[in-house]
């Protein structure tokens, strides 16, 4: 196949031409026993949690985190690199599993059209993964909304828990982009239709239940976490939990299959565990602990990723997920593209095809900051430059020289066009880094630190802020949380993904800035406190021309318009 003909193929065309192995072969390749997995169609499976019990004393494979610079409209291709790197490691003889998040239908129908890697580095079957997959998100949606229905019914039926309807924090969800549901009033129509109150819907990936599913260690832990969800406050301002409503059993029942990780494969038949997908702003942005730990028991290497840039996804992967899940990551891959670095250097999206070494030089400072962040966690890293056709030789040379001077390991990645073959350089450099530098991972803060100290640590060490401003409302919340015993939880920062600062317009490496914490939200079930540094969108809207307008299915049931 010529390079030219490849160029015009869309992700879905490449995917639909792929030859997948029956999932049975993939499961057997991981030495899963026959009763340890269940098929969902011929190319997807759910893995029983019993595997973890059988393998609890088996050695752990090396967990490698893939993160990136601050995302730009130019695109970085983090998932694509994750898949490609996994394929490359398998190609050179290392038993490797990729562990990814499940995509949300909202962005798929809205803008993205899909999110399962790209080009010759995709997870398969991409149509299924981008649509309903094995139903995990639907189960989470249902559990979330069942809780809302139980809550409103509790109030309607006499309100034994004395819930103050003005202080309900639990929202309903849909796994769609639907701005009209952001702010609603429910319970209208008179005394038979419930109690009127203000309410709102989030997208499913923003549900606390999504975060819980991804942080639970097993079914028992899942139920415990669900029990701890705070749904609102009583008239005397005490938290009301799921345990108070007595529905934790029903919610766990609704999630008993969703908590099992999903096994699929990449275009090159590398095993992939795709499970969970919380937002990386008001939640922690990583696939499930269960999936990552399971992958580490089944493979020698696990390549996993976290949402947005290293300031959000990686920080939370390391300070929240790894800590709560006892995961000991061994190295980090930091993905950047020359296009995105030039945007961080001040170039408009329209002018990215023009060589611009000055802008690249300025933009490198964004990468530099993320490298320092990874180093502060005690972890070795490789910089992965995800190649685009418009990158000039001089631009590539500049980056290589920049890394050489600083003694940073760097690799060019061509996994979109060449699959695993295009990631071998990256794979080899990663293995070299792992060999020469023992990972010495340590979270950045202690759980016993005060809420203020935790936030300050993240803001200063990860974002490069000079100070943190807690507005008076937040100071008051901190006092309340202390009195409720919530101050020993990790902090989940909600910040714009586009900038290291809390101002999305400040690209590159802003300096001298202050981070303003405007609100705290307790995710007691998930086990973290969310600190909001600005408006955080928990329900996206659709664009004027949604991707859905181009979607279709032919008479044979073949999907059209996913990409």
Instruction: Based on the residue annotation, tell me whether 112 is a catalytic residue of this protein.
Output: yes
- Taking a C-beta distance cutoff of 8 angstroms, is the pair 289, 214 a contact? yes
Question: Looking only at residues 1 through 60 of this chain, which bind its own copies when binding is defined by CB under 8 A?
Answer: 38-42, 46, 49
x/- site string to its own copies, residues 444 to 483, per CB under 8 A?
----------------------------------------
Q: Of 10, 150, 244, 269, which lies in the binding site for its own copies, with binding defined by CB under 8 A?
A: 150
x/- site string to its own copies, residues 363 to 402, per CB under 8 A?
----------------------------------------
Query: Which pair of tokens denotes residue 86?
Result: 């996994």
**Residues counted in the chain:** 563
C-alpha distances out from residue 506 to 70, 108, 363, 501, Å = 11, 28, 12, 7
Is 75 marked within a binding site? yes
What is the rounded distance in angstroms from the CA atom of residue 107 to the CA atom of residue 97? 26
CB atoms within 10 A of CB 439: 18
331-336 and 381-386 as β-strands: parallel, antiparallel, unpaired?
parallel
Query: Which pair of tokens denotes residue 177?
Result: 């982009």
Question: Looking only at residues 479 through 538 of this chain, which bind its own copies when binding is defined by CB under 8 A?
Answer: none
Question: Looking only at residues 194 through 213 of this chain, which bind its own copies when binding is defined by CB under 8 A?
Answer: 194-195, 199
Our CB check for its own copies shows the closer of 73 and 541 to be 541
x/- site string to its own copies, residues 163 to 182, per CB under 8 A?
---------x-xxxxxxxxx
- Specify burial of residue 183 (Cβ count, 10 A radius: 0-12, 13-18, 19+): exposed
Residue 561 Ramachandran class (φ > 0 left, ψ -120 to 50 alpha, else beta): left
528-532 and 519-523 as β-strands: parallel, antiparallel, unpaired?
antiparallel
| By the rule CB under 8 A, 67 interacts with its own copies | no
| By the rule CB under 8 A, 132 interacts with its own copies | yes
Instruction: Based on the residue annotation, tell me whether 78 is a catalytic residue of this protein.
Output: yes
The residue annotated as part of the active site, out of 101, 217, 297, 323, is 101
Query: Which pair of tokens denotes residue 532?
Result: 């909001």
Question: Looking only at residues 82 through 121 of this chain, which bind its own copies when binding is defined by CB under 8 A?
Answer: 105, 109
What is the rounded distance in angstroms from the CA atom of residue 359 to the CA atom of residue 351? 11
Hunting for tokens 């009583």 — which residue is that? Answer: 234
Is 76 marked within a binding site? yes
Our CB check for its own copies shows the closer of 141 and 304 to be 141
| By the rule CB under 8 A, 249 interacts with its own copies | yes
Is 58 marked within a binding site? no
Picking from 387, 296, 372, 298, the residue whose alpha carbon sits closest to that of residue 340 is 387
Question: Looking only at residues 217 through 236 of this chain, which bind its own copies when binding is defined by CB under 8 A?
Answer: 218-220, 223
Q: Of 161, 211, 254, 529, which lies in the binding site for its own copies, with binding defined by CB under 8 A?
A: 254
Our CB check for its own copies shows the closer of 285 and 525 to be 525
C-alpha distances out from residue 196 to 191, 201, 237, 259, 268, Å = 9, 16, 20, 34, 54
| By the rule CB under 8 A, 188 interacts with its own copies | yes
User: Kindly report the CA angle at 156 between 153 and 162, in degrees rounded to 5?
Assistant: 95
Instruction: Based on the residue annotation, tell me whether 211 is a catalytic residue of this protein.
Output: no
Instruction: Based on the residue annotation, tell me whether 486 is a catalytic residue of this protein.
Output: no
Is 74 marked within a binding site? yes
Q: What is the DSSP letter of 419?
A: G
62-68 and 301-305 as β-strands: parallel, antiparallel, unpaired?
parallel
Instruction: Based on the residue annotation, tell me whether 402 is a catalytic residue of this protein.
Output: no
Instruction: Based on the residue annotation, tell me whether 243 is a catalytic residue of this protein.
Output: no
| By the rule CB under 8 A, 192 interacts with its own copies | yes
Hunting for tokens 């580490």 — which residue is that? Answer: 296
The residue annotated as part of the active site, out of 133, 170, 381, 388, is 388
CB atoms within 10 A of CB 545: 9
Reported as type and span, the H/E element at residue 68 is: strand 62-68
Instruction: Based on the residue annotation, tell me whether 513 is a catalytic residue of this protein.
Output: no
Our CB check for its own copies shows the closer of 182 and 461 to be 182
User: Nearest approach, Cβ of 144 to its own copies (angstroms)?
Assistant: 10
Is 211 marked within a binding site? no
The residue annotated as part of the active site, out of 112, 432, 488, 506, is 112
Our CB check for its own copies shows the closer of 148 and 530 to be 148
C-alpha distances out from residue 268 to 40, 83, 111, 430, Å = 20, 10, 27, 20
Among the residue ranges 156-164, 394-402, 487-495, 502-510, the one whose residues contact its own copies (CB under 8 A): 156-164
Among the residue ranges 231-239, 251-259, 303-311, 327-335, the one whose residues contact its own copies (CB under 8 A): 251-259
Our CB check for its own copies shows the closer of 379 and 539 to be 539
What is the rounded distance in angstroms from the CA atom of residue 291 to the CA atom of residue 437? 26
What is the rounded distance in angstroms from the CA atom of residue 496 to the CA atom of residue 274? 25
| By the rule CB under 8 A, 360 interacts with its own copies | no
User: Nearest approach, Cβ of 403 to its own copies (angstroms)?
Assistant: 43
Our CB check for its own copies shows the closer of 43 and 317 to be 43
Instruction: Based on the residue annotation, tell me whether 80 is a catalytic residue of this protein.
Output: yes
| Positions at the binding site | 72-79
Catalytic residues: 78, 80, 101, 112, 280, 308, 388, 416
Q: Residues comprising the binding site for ATP?
A: 72-79
């Amino acid at each position: 196949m010529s390079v030219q003909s490849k160029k015009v193929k869309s992700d879905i065309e490449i995917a639909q031409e792929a030859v997948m192995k029956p999932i049975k072969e993939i499961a057997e390749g991981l030495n899963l026993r026959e009763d340890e997995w269940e098929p969902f169609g011929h190319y997807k499976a759910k893995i029983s949690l019993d595997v973890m019990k059988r393998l609890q004393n088996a050695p752990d494979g090396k967990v490698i985190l893939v993160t990136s610079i601050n995302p730009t409209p130019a695109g970085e291709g983090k998932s694509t690199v994750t898949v490609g790197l996994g394929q490359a490691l398998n190609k050179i003889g290392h038993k490797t599993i990729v562990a990814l998040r499940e995509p949300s239908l909202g962005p798929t129908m809205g803008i993205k059209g899909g999110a399962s890697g790209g080009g010759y580095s995709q997870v398969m079957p991409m149509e299924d993964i981008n649509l309903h997959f094995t139903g995990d998100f639907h189960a989470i949606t249902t559990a979330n909304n069942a809780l809302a229905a139980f809550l409103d019914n509790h109030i309607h039926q006499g309100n034994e828990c004395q819930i103050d309807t003005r202080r309900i924090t639990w929202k309903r969800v849909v796994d769609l982009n639907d701005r009209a549901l952001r702010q609603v009033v429910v319970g209208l129509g008179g005394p038979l239709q419930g109690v009127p109150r203000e309410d709102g819907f989030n997208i499913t990936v923003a549900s606390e239940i999504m975060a819980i599913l991804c942080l639970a260690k097993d079914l028992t832990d899942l139920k415990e976490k669900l029990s701890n969800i705070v749904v609102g406050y009583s008239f005397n301002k005490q938290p009301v939990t799921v345990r108070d409503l007595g529905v934790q059993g029903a919610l766990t029942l609704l999630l008993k299959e969703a908590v099992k990780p999903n096994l699929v494969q990449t275009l090159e038949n590398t095993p992939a565990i795709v499970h969970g997908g919380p937002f990386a702003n008001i939640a922690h942005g990583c696939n499930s602990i269960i999936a990552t730990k399971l992958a580490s028991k089944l493979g020698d290497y696990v390549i996993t990723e976290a949402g947005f840039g290293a300031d959000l996804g990686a920080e939370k992967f390391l300070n929240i997920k790894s800590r709560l899940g006892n995961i000991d990551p061994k190295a980090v891959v930091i993905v950047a593209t020359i296009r995105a670095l030039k945007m961080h250097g001040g170039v408009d999206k329209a002018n990215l095809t023009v060589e611009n070494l000055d802008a690249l030089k300025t933009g490198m400072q964004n990468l530099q900051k993320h490298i320092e962040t990874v180093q502060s966690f005690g972890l070795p890293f490789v910089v992965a430059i995800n190649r685009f056709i418009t990158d000039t030789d001089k631009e590539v040379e500049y980056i290589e020289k920049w890394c050489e001077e600083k003694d940073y390991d760097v690799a060019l990645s061509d996994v979109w066009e060449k699959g695993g073959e295009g990631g071998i350089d990256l794979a080899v450099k990663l293995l070299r880094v792992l060999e020469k530098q023992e990972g010495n991972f340590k979270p950045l803060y202690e759980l016993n630190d005060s809420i203020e100290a935790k936030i300050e640590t993240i803001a200063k060490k990860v974002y490069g802020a000079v100070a943190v401003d807690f507005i008076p409302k937040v100071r008051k919340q901190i006092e309340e949380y202390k009195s409720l015993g919530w101050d020993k939880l990790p902090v989940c920062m909600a910040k714009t993904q586009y900038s290291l600062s809390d101002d999305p317009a400040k690209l590159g490496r802003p300096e001298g800035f202050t981070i303003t914490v405007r609100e705290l939200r307790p995710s007691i079930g998930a086990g973290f406190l969310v600190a909001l540094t600005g408006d955080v969108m928990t329900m996206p809207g659709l664009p004027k021309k949604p991707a859905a307008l181009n979607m279709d299915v032919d008479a044979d049931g073949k999907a059209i318009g996913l990409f």
